[in-house]
Every structure is written in structure tokens, then in C-alpha cells.
Amino acid sequence: MRQGPLFLSIIAVLVVGNLLSPYFLNSNNFRNILITGAVVSVLAVGQFMVIVTAGIDLSVGAVASFSTVLSAVLMSKGVPVVWTVLIVLAVCACFGVVNGVLVVYGGITPFIATLGMMGVVQGLAYLVQGGTYVRINHQGFIDFFSGQLGSVPVQVIIFVAITVVFAVTMRWSTFGRALYAIGGNAEAARLSGLPVRRNLVIAYATSATLAAVAGFMLAAQLGEGSSQLGQGLELDSIAAAVVGGASLFGGLGSPVTAVLGGLLIGVIGNIMNLRGVPAEPQLIIKGSLILIAVFVTSGRGSAIRAAAGRRAKAIFTGRDGRHTTPLVNSSASATNPQLHEPASRDEAPIAS
């Protein structure tokens, strides 16, 4: 089972966290982990929708920043919250459509296309912001994206709902199965009649739209819009997806494991914060996690993992892969000494 190492890693990190800090298992600390991880989880689901097609979206952090800025500016101009949300979602979805068009019709590799879009969107966020950060004073917006429903934070409800919707989509819808097929072999998917180009554009648009939702959550949580808020989130979303089992070569993983990967990274970051680890070593650890996860899901890493799994299974079942002579009845062995000598594989057949 591909999720086995992920679940073992989560258990191991929880145990280590409990040993390193007496505050780790505190209910308030777990609440903070979920609230902090909600933004990365939403981004990770969107990032997964692209990575499963063997692509990548480096613009999600910039799109999230733009979402915070445009939301704050529109509401400061008196635009109603509903219209603000719809306008921002539409604009950010257009960024994703442009990414998809550049990749599909422009023939630009996803890395370069989304890297260029990251710069464009970041520059637009600076221009719209027009200087310092923009305060958000609309309580309805804040309550909707960072309030509480009973005792449950709204951020948690949002990321769980998004995870469930896209898990069902990827598991049971034609669109989800098509994305897996495209990631596995795009040419074979095209020859089988799947609308590869359209599905790729939709995947990038979905990633950008979910980045906008993550921006809403950030803006509501901090009460401001700023072009700096989303910086580095693209790395977190990629790390979450690949640590969760998605392969950068496409065709593997699920939204649920991408979210679990994001929560795992969030827990590791929380432990480092509790121990007072500076930000720079945390970046080193995140980068190392990506390298390890990419190796494990790559062709060579998959072969090593599969070989290790077969070896472990052989040890536990008593069959370690070496030739063993079957046990024979002692009385039969005494009457027929040839039973002591197993037949050679190269022995010539006996003529009749």
C-alpha cells in the first residue's frame, strides 16, 4: 500500500513531537496546527490536480497573495462580499486558464510557464495594493473564512469539504480518471479519445481557483491583504503533494494523501517552532523532504521500495527467495537415496 510509509511517518512525527515538547499534545496546539495547515491543505489539493498530470504550478503562492490584495481593495471600495468573492475567483481562475493555455497550446513546459505567471501575478498584486498592506474591516468576510461554526474553526471545515469533493471527483468522475490517464501517458490518453488539452486547462484553472480560496482564508485570518502573504506557499503545496505520495512524473496520488502530507509538514513545522528552530533551517528541512519524496516516487526509488517490500514479506513468511530443498519423509529417504539429491535445472530429460 503506497500510503503505508505516509501513515508510519505521521505516527513517528507525533511520537517525536510528544517527546520533544510537553505542549505538543495540547488541544490548543492541535487546533493551531489544523488552522495553520488549512491554507496549505487547500493549496495542496489544487497543486495535486496539476501534479497528477505530470505538471507543476509555481504560481499558486502569488495567486493567493493577489487574492488577499484584490479582496481587501474591493471591499474597501464598498463592493459587497459576495461580489468580491465571485470577482476574485473569476480573475484568479483566468490566471490558471492562461497557465493551461501556455502549457497546452504554447508548448511551454509547466515549470517555465507557471514561473513566468508567478512573476506576472506578483507584480499585479504590488500594483493593486498600491503601497502598504490593505486592512480588511468587513466582519462578515472575516467570520465566513476564519470564524467558528460551533467549536470547529471554519478553516478546517473549508479544507475538509474541499478535500472530500476533490477526492470523490478524482476517484469516481470521468474527469478525475482522465487526469490520472493523462499523467500516466498523455499520448495514449489522446489516442483513446480523451480531451487531453481541455482537461489540462481545467486542471490549471482549478489550481488557481483553490489558490484564491486559500487567499481568502489568509486574508480573513490576518485581517489584511498583502502581496507578501503568499510567498513560499508554492513550495509548501508542492512538498505536501509529493510527501503525500504524488509523483512529479504524474499519474499517482490522491487529494486526501496530499492533505495528509501537508498536515505532516505542518506538524513538523509546529514541532520546530515549539523548539525555537529558526526559519532558515526549517526551509532546509522542507527542501530535503521534497527531495526524499521525489526520489521515493521516482522510477529508481519505486524499484528500491518495491524490492524492500518483497524482501520484508519474504522474511516474515519464511521465504527469503533462496532455493530450499523440501522436507521429505525419512523412511522414503532411506529406501530411495536419490531424494537427497535435488534434480539439477540443467539435467537432460530422460528418454522414454
Find out whether 49 and 240 touch, Cβ atoms under 8 Å.
no
Give the separation between CA 35 and CA 220, rounded to whole angstroms. Answer: 12
Across 108-120, b (16+ Cβ under 10 Å) vs e yields bebeebbbbbbee
**pLDDT in single tens digits along all 352 residues of the chain:** 456 677 777 888 888 888 888 888 888 888 888 888 899 999 999 999 999 999 999 999 999 999 999 999 999 898 999 999 999 999 999 999 999 999 999 999 999 999 999 999 999 999 988 877 888 888 889 989 988 888 888 999 999 999 999 999 999 999 999 999 999 888 898 888 889 999 999 999 999 999 999 999 999 988 888 888 888 889 889 988 888 888 888 888 889 989 988 888 888 888 888 888 887 787 787 778 767 766 765 556 555 655 655 665 566 566 554 544 444 454 444 445 454 454 444 444 444 3
Give the separation between CA 292 and CA 290, rounded to whole angstroms. Answer: 5
Output the pLDDT for position 299: 52
Give the separation between CA 288 and CA 307, rounded to whole angstroms. Answer: 23
Distances (CA, A) of 297 to 13, 238, 291: 21, 14, 10
Task: Look up residue 254 and give its DSSP letter.
Answer: -
Q: With H, G, I as helix, E, B as strand and everything else as coil, classify residue 318.
A: coil
- Please spell the DSSP secondary structure of 325-345, one letter per residue: PPP--HHHHHH-GGGGSPPPT
Output the pLDDT for position 85: 95
Output the pLDDT for position 298: 58
Backbone angles phi, psi at 298, to 5 degrees: -80, 175
Output the pLDDT for position 43: 94
Give the position of cell 493555455. Answer: 101
Output the pLDDT for position 138: 85
Task: Look up residue 131 and give its DSSP letter.
Answer: S
In this structure, the number of other CB atoms found within 10 A of the CB of residue 52 comes to 26
Find out whether 56 and 241 touch, Cβ atoms under 8 Å.
no
Q: With H, G, I as helix, E, B as strand and everything else as coil, classify residue 192.
A: coil
Output the pLDDT for position 1: 45
**pTM across the whole model:** 0.80
Give the separation between CA 269 and CA 255, rounded to whole angstroms. Answer: 21
Give the separation between CA 60 and CA 115, rounded to whole angstroms. Answer: 10
| End-to-end Cα separation, the chain, in angstroms | 50
Give the separation between CA 58 and CA 53, rounded to whole angstroms. Answer: 15
Find out whether 119 and 64 touch, Cβ atoms under 8 Å.
no
Provide CATH code, domain 4-307: 1.10.3470
Give the separation between CA 24 and CA 15, rounded to whole angstroms. Answer: 10
Helix (H) or strand (E) run with residue 224 in it: strand 224-225
Give the separation between CA 50 and CA 100, rounded to whole angstroms. Answer: 10
Backbone angles phi, psi at 225, to 5 degrees: -115, 130
Radius of gyration (Cα) for the chain, nearest Å?
26
Sign of the CA dihedral running 69, 70, 74, 80: negative
Output the pLDDT for position 32: 85
Domain ranges, ordered by start, for the chain? 4-307
Output the pLDDT for position 306: 59
